[in-house]
Structure 1
Amino acid sequence: MRLNVKHTLPKFTLAPLALALSTQVSFAQTTETDTADIEVVTVVQSKQAYQGDFTRLETPQAELRLDSETLQDFGAIDLTQALDLSASVARQNNFGGLWNSFAIRGFVGDENLPSNYLVNGFNAGRGFGGPRDLSGIESVEVLKGPRAALFGRGEPGGTINLVTKRPTFDESGEFRVSVGSWSRYRTDVDYTTPVSDDVAIRLVGFFEDAESFRDTVETTKHGFSPSIAWRISDDSQLTYELEYSNQEIPFDRGIVEINGDLDALPASRFLGEPGDGPIETEVLGHQLELQHDFSDDWSGLVGVNFRDTSLEGFATENGFGSVSEDGDFSRFRRYRKYDATYYVLRAELSGEFETAGLTHRIILGVDKDEFENDQFFLRVRDGQGGSVSQSINVYNPVYGSYELPEPLPNTDRVETQESFGVYVQDQISVTDSIDVRIGARFDDYKQELVNRRSDPYSITEQTESRLSPQLGLVFKSSENLSFYAVYGENFRPLSGTDKDGNGHEPNQSTSIEAGANFLLNKGNIQGTVALFNVKQDSILVVDDVNTFTTAAIGEAESKGVEVDIVGNIKDDLSVWFSYAYIDAETKNQFFDANFGFDVEPGSPLLNVPEQQLTLQLVQELNIGGSPMSLGGAIVHVGKRNGFFGADFELPSYTTVRLFSTYELTPEVELRLEVDNLLDDRYYPNSFSNTWVQPGAPRNFTLSASYSF
């Protein structure tokens, strides 16, 4: 069976400790004679940071967990690919391939920063470490709807949480080698073992070198994620994880539309300068977490996370002008040196008690975080400062035809965001069928922005205090069906200053969600149907393209319906289905200085399709006494606005994927994957009609793994 939806552990675990993971694996692989050994490791060691222990039918929100087997079947090796499994998540402008950017239920964060995500419940995504590889990730959780009452500052559409691979107390390992189209080579290693009765380690690493369907574009990346778990006692455990990665990726803004034709240029056409070399990104992160069980009903978590990321390099980029009749197209050159540090401290107490005949499941916590964003940025336009023309002929590009100009000063600033939060959530079982969830979070926030280009330095400070409430209701109508409704408020601090040098009021939002969670096929299939409405104001827009100052004047609304169905139709046939209809649009008129025109009310939000669907089926077989699987996936993305406020749409597309695995021996497995089987031309995202990212043509991956 590929997906065990009847698992006795909580379905959505944000911070499972190593012993609990060991128990999870053991339940799936041991026989009745082994249970005496398992009882040493108790299930109560698995707790959910921020969320508590709730079954799907008790949860008044929509959630979707992408486990490691589903991710592997889908061929996802980075976060962007993984999130295609959720139709509620839409790809956004990926900064030339240098970071993850996505919208959940129509809303994305600051376009000048990567989309934020959590790692084991800790904020971690806003740095500059490059696209997140999934090498050290056990599962990806799409936690939809208003989450500010617990998670705090974030997007109203939902939160992405990555659950890492942690040590187990059973020795096991896997070595995988993959080769693919465009000279793509990758190696993955995953090994875990106990080193004593109380200490276990896990070593995870990867290396990848790949050319691309894009001319001259080649990437190299590697990473290492060791971790160690120390079982201090039967009730306490300490876990430490390190994250390191280095990536070298050429900056690639994609292709341009010519006279209304997106297909005028080959999808392979690179419009930058290979002589710029790659952008280099680096991550060094540390995460330490202590869990202690005070009793069967009460548990505490204390954790700290520190992540240092950097991005540096030159890039010649597509301009915003049109292509001439002869094919000449203007460009500009930039140099970036970005550094960011993210520090998070969290302490939480969760437990259960009864009073006046009511059962309370409560979560109490505090957290403190500090995000420092240091940006040094140079730019030179065509002919600026007496420089040469940087234009290129898009039909017949000649790279290196001129000496690359030196960029001129543009931005030199450091922004620090500090916050302290206190949160409480109480889910009260009023009857056997009715639960009420009440939650609130208070945040005290401080922002300091230092402009190092001014003489003397200018310093802007801002402080805010915000209360984020949440109210939810669950009605369990049967053992297999529950209905829910939830209301929540959200806020997110905004980076940068306005034209007068002042900081911005935080982005504010309200969200309403109602739906049903259900089980089918004797519990082997889990599903959710959800309706939602999200309203957001104080959205940042550019008000001066020369100084890159912004104004918090945008208003938008997103509403829609989602359906997620995951599980086993039969023991040997699994299904993954995710569908979303999202209507996301602006609600007021404002001037966008990026492109010099007014954005009218009712304009669709960028890169958000009305219709999106993912379907994956996997059939288990037995050929010649050896296990084999055959699978296929379809991803459909509807047409989207590709240029905010303009009449430019990205066409809808559908990609088809097939894969097969075969076990040569119990230890050796072969896998063949074919992506974009029909070789369709498509465009996953854009920022304007001159920054359009083409999708990869049909491609193949062959891999072999050795497990022990």
Structure 2
Amino acid sequence: MIKRHIRGNTALAAVMAAGICAVAANAEGAAKTEGVETVTVTGQSINLDVKGHTPLLETPQNIQILSADLLASQNVTRLDEALRNVAGVMGGGYYQSYDYFRIRGFDASGFIYLDGMRLDSYVDVNAEISGLEQIQVVKGPASALYGQGALGGLVNFVSKRPTRDAFLNVSAAYGSFDSYELSLDGNRPITGDVAARLVATWRQAGSFADHSSGDNRIYVAPSVTWDIDADTSVTLLSSYQHDKFNMVMPLTALGTITPSKYGTYSLKTYTGNLGDDNHSWVNRTQLGYQASHRFNDVFTLNHRLRYTVNDQRWNKILYTSSLVDTGSTLALSQYPYDYDSFGTMITTDTSLSADFTTGPLRHQVMIGTDYAITHSHSHSGQIDYADPNSYVVIDLFHPTYHKPMPVYKSFASAHESLNTLGTYVQDHITYGDFTLTASLRWDDAHSISGGADKTDVAYTPRLGLTYAVMPDAVLFASYSESFLPQSGTLFSGEPLKPETGRQWETGVKASLLDGHIDLSASLYYLTRNNVATSDPTHPFSSIQSGKQRSRGFEFDSRFNIVENWQAIFTYAYTDAVVIEDNTYPVGDQLSNVPKNSIGLWSRYAFDGALNGLSVNGGVYYYSSMAGDLPNTFRLPSYTLANAGIAYDYGDATLQLSFKNLFNERYFSGSYNDVYVQPGATRSIEARLSYRL
């Protein structure tokens, strides 16, 4: 079943790392070159969107920032493609139409934020990249400021918003699998104090799978900024996204990764039914604002709010129950699933920051509170799982479609709500070449799900230290904790306690040659506690004796040494394993986590007689990964190669992009041996853009 990341009272996720705030559209000090912007911004205090005003270089945590210009140069349209630019982050999952990723070995897919506030969890996010100014990747726990969330880290999206420049960018694209797109990004100052911006995209993204119509999207995001005076600003942000897609379901390990006695079947095999079945649509509407007011040289107030409405429908999605050897072929036994839900969410955050000195110490203090309230209603069709006639069987080697669908025996309804309240405080202290960041947060999370009423209260700290070994290079070390409420009960009926996590991290950051070289290297050790595992004496209950560990090394680097050449190099070693469990063997690797991953991307713009011409290419290697827990099979290692060529002629740009250039056969992730997602085959896209 599609993983909706609701998990009862685990719906609330964590957002940004302590002590930074989101980079606004053109952050001061971000070096910008022709066609691409420096990916990592260091040494500057960042503006709004995330809590605090700590300079990024002084933040004792590994944080990477991906700009819109970089993603456009790479022709990125999906989040997993963007995350290849960051060490220690593994994109891809076991369904094609949703955003899945792991950070430092742990699943963080449900922990995506937009403009510093948590996105809803009632619809798996499938981000529209064209509406984003930046993607910020924060590694390690952020609960000290943002409450419950993933131990490995999180991703924050920064929306495009109005600027003081008038422009209009339009583009049209056509590519493999009959994919096409029209997009617009326009900005206009209305008065001296007010500016408006509109981002709109219409896309039909075809699929490499047979018989799949792919994903159809309409995205519209208008925004308005009013600079009331030199110290006060308000920005209205809104968006509407409609997705309609023919879901490409996972395949099986036997017959694809491991040859069966009947051989292997094509990765393009479609395992749904044809007709009106296996279709889904999602509508997401968001409306909110962000406001800031600077009282004086000491105090600044930031406030933000967003209201979200989600409406989704799945129509007879076929889920795999088992793999059947018929004696002549391999077949999938599948059952249909209908699901519709409607949910609303209100999130708000208010913080007061103060910048002052006490003797030789400079303090950047922040105190704030945030609140979120989420409600959802869902309705689903249920089959008689004991009745063999409730299943659809498809031959994987010779599939036939237009099969009659089983009749639902019953329908189930559910209501879930989650209210979370948090208060946080942080002091970032500077003394000479040293900084000390101390953060503490209190959380109260109240959830109602399936008749269960539960409240979790937690305190989460963080402590970090940096030392400037030279003006543009620091050593850092930090300790941080996370917590994440869980649904379910023990055999005694007592609710499960929240998962908890701890991280120790140390490393070095540098921004050299006036920001033309950015380097980050870090060592980390994470432990995840209170993991729910099977009760050995009560098979249908859980106990909380599970424990997992991840340790590793990451290196992120960005180069922009000369004006017309940029490069990114990343490397990560990730050792993520089970260290205590009643079900899984100790030492088993966590699934979908490569021990070694390497990324290299470069772009070169010609001058002289070839002025206007640029070329780029990327190579990404991932070592083999465990396909499930316990480790019954492995996903093979793979190397992806992408390439692109572009030509600027006046205000027009013609861009040709190649993804999976050498048509590598690979698998992006899995849930178990009958839920394995194949990677996309080679694709080509041509894009024509025009700037006014």
Q: Same fold (TM over 0.5)?
A: yes
3-state SS of paired residue (2:82): helix
3-state SS of paired residue (1:283): strand
| Equivalent residue, structure 2, for 1:286 | 287
TM-superposed CA distance for 1:495, in Å, is: 3.7
Aligned mates of 2:404, 2:580 — CA distance in 1: 46
Say if 1:129 and 1:310, in contact at 8 Å, map to a contact too.
no
Aligned mates of 1:386, 1:348 — CA distance in 2: 58
In the alignment, which of 606, 619, 639 is matched to residue 621 of structure 1? 606
In the alignment, which of 555, 566, 569 is matched to residue 577 of structure 1? 569
TM-score, normalization: structure 1?
Answer: 0.87
| Equivalent residue, structure 2, for 1:105 | 104
- List runs of 5+ in structure 1 lacking aligned partners: 1-11, 30-42, 452-458, 591-597
List per-residue Cα deviations over 1:183-231 (Å, max 9, x = no partner).
0001111001011111111100101113211011112111111111111
Aligned mates of 1:420, 1:569 — CA distance in 2: 46
| Equivalent residue, structure 2, for 1:261 | 259
Say if 1:22 and 1:168, in contact at 8 Å, map to a contact too.
no
3-state SS of paired residue (1:473): strand
Aligned mates of 1:636, 1:45 — CA distance in 2: 33
Say if 1:98 and 1:251, in contact at 8 Å, map to a contact too.
yes
In the alignment, which of 393, 410, 423 is matched to residue 395 of structure 2? 393
3-state SS of paired residue (1:168): coil
Aligned mates of 1:310, 1:553 — CA distance in 2: 37
3-state SS of paired residue (1:135): helix
Aligned mates of 1:521, 1:278 — CA distance in 2: 52
Aligned mates of 2:408, 2:269 — CA distance in 1: 24
| Equivalent residue, structure 2, for 1:188 | 183
- The change in CA–CA distance for 1:538 and 1:155 in structure 2 (over 3 A counts) is same
| Equivalent residue, structure 1, for 2:592 | 607
| Equivalent residue, structure 2, for 1:637 | 622
- The change in CA–CA distance for 1:494 and 1:608 in structure 2 (over 3 A counts) is same
3-state SS of paired residue (2:363): strand
List per-residue Cα deviations over 1:396-418 (Å, max 9, x = no partner).
10101x31112344753222221
List per-residue Cα deviations over 1:616-675 (Å, max 9, x = no partner).
11111126464221110011111111122032000010000110111122x100000011
TM-superposed CA distance for 1:28, in Å, is: 8.3
What residue identity is the alignment partner of 2:240? Y
In the alignment, which of 132, 147, 151 is matched to residue 142 of structure 2? 147
Aligned mates of 2:46, 2:398 — CA distance in 1: 62
List per-residue Cα deviations over 1:431-489 (Å, max 9, x = no partner).
x111111110111221112x3xxxxxxx2111122110111111111113210100011
| Equivalent residue, structure 2, for 1:63 | 63
What residue identity is the alignment partner of 1:104? I
Deviates more, 1:408-417 or 1:388-397: 408-417
Say if 1:498 and 1:551, in contact at 8 Å, map to a contact too.
yes
Aligned mates of 1:142, 1:267 — CA distance in 2: 31
Deviates more, 1:139-148 or 1:259-268: 259-268
Alignment of 1:232 with 2:228, yes or no, is yes
Aligned mates of 1:81, 1:194 — CA distance in 2: 33
| Equivalent residue, structure 2, for 1:698 | 682
- List runs of 5+ in structure 2 lacking aligned partners: 1-18, 35-43
Say if 1:130 and 1:247, in contact at 8 Å, map to a contact too.
no
Aligned mates of 1:70, 1:499 — CA distance in 2: 52
Aligned mates of 2:686, 2:32 — CA distance in 1: 31
| Equivalent residue, structure 2, for 1:73 | 73
| Equivalent residue, structure 2, for 1:517 | 509
Deviates more, 1:182-191 or 1:315-324: 315-324
Equivalences for 1:311-460 in 2 at 5 Å?
311-313=312-314, 314-327=316-329, 328-380=331-383, 384-385=386-387, 387=389, 389-400=391-402, 402-409=403-410, 412-430=413-431, 432-449=432-449, 451=450, 459-460=451-452
Aligned mates of 2:589, 2:88 — CA distance in 1: 16
What residue identity is the alignment partner of 2:244? E
What residue identity is the alignment partner of 1:99? Y
Equivalences for 1:587-602 in 2 at 5 Å?
587-590=579-582, 598-602=583-587
In the alignment, which of 158, 174, 179 is matched to residue 179 of structure 1? 174
- The change in CA–CA distance for 1:489 and 1:410 in structure 2 (over 3 A counts) is farther
Aligned mates of 1:13, 1:484 — CA distance in 2: 15
TM-superposed CA distance for 1:705, in Å, is: 0.3
What residue identity is the alignment partner of 2:671? F
3-state SS of paired residue (1:232): strand
Say if 2:655 and 2:688, in contact at 8 Å, map to a contact too.
yes
Alignment of 1:669 with 2:647, yes or no, is no
- The change in CA–CA distance for 1:549 and 1:228 in structure 2 (over 3 A counts) is farther
Aligned mates of 2:438, 2:628 — CA distance in 1: 40
Say if 1:67 and 1:140, in contact at 8 Å, map to a contact too.
yes
Deviates more, 1:493-502 or 1:330-339: 493-502
Aligned mates of 1:355, 1:410 — CA distance in 2: 64
TM-superposed CA distance for 1:250, in Å, is: 2.0
What residue identity is the alignment partner of 2:457? S
Alignment of 1:682 with 2:678, yes or no, is no
3-state SS of paired residue (1:84): helix
Alignment of 1:528 with 2:520, yes or no, is yes
What residue identity is the alignment partner of 2:641? V
TM-superposed CA distance for 1:84, in Å, is: 2.1
Aligned mates of 2:551, 2:30 — CA distance in 1: 39
| Equivalent residue, structure 1, for 2:153 | 158
3-state SS of paired residue (2:71): helix
Aligned mates of 1:424, 1:138 — CA distance in 2: 28
TM-superposed CA distance for 1:548, in Å, is: 9.7
- The change in CA–CA distance for 1:648 and 1:398 in structure 2 (over 3 A counts) is same
3-state SS of paired residue (1:387): helix
List per-residue Cα deviations over 1:228-277 (Å, max 9, x = no partner).
11111111111111111011122322221236328811111011112314
Alignment of 1:85 with 2:85, yes or no, is yes
List per-residue Cα deviations over 1:477-518 (Å, max 9, x = no partner).
111321010001111122455677654211111111100001
| Equivalent residue, structure 1, for 2:10 | none
List per-residue Cα deviations over 1:133-188 (Å, max 9, x = no partner).
11210110001122111121111211211111001121111001011001000111
TM-superposed CA distance for 1:578, in Å, is: 1.7
| Equivalent residue, structure 1, for 2:8 | none
Say if 1:241 and 1:287, in contact at 8 Å, map to a contact too.
yes
Aligned mates of 1:55, 1:116 — CA distance in 2: 21
- The change in CA–CA distance for 1:357 and 1:637 in structure 2 (over 3 A counts) is same
What residue identity is the alignment partner of 2:100? S
Say if 2:45 and 2:53, in contact at 8 Å, map to a contact too.
no
What residue identity is the alignment partner of 1:187? L
Say if 1:22 and 1:169, in contact at 8 Å, map to a contact too.
no
TM-superposed CA distance for 1:586, in Å, is: 1.1
Aligned mates of 1:507, 1:373 — CA distance in 2: 24
- The change in CA–CA distance for 1:381 and 1:155 in structure 2 (over 3 A counts) is same
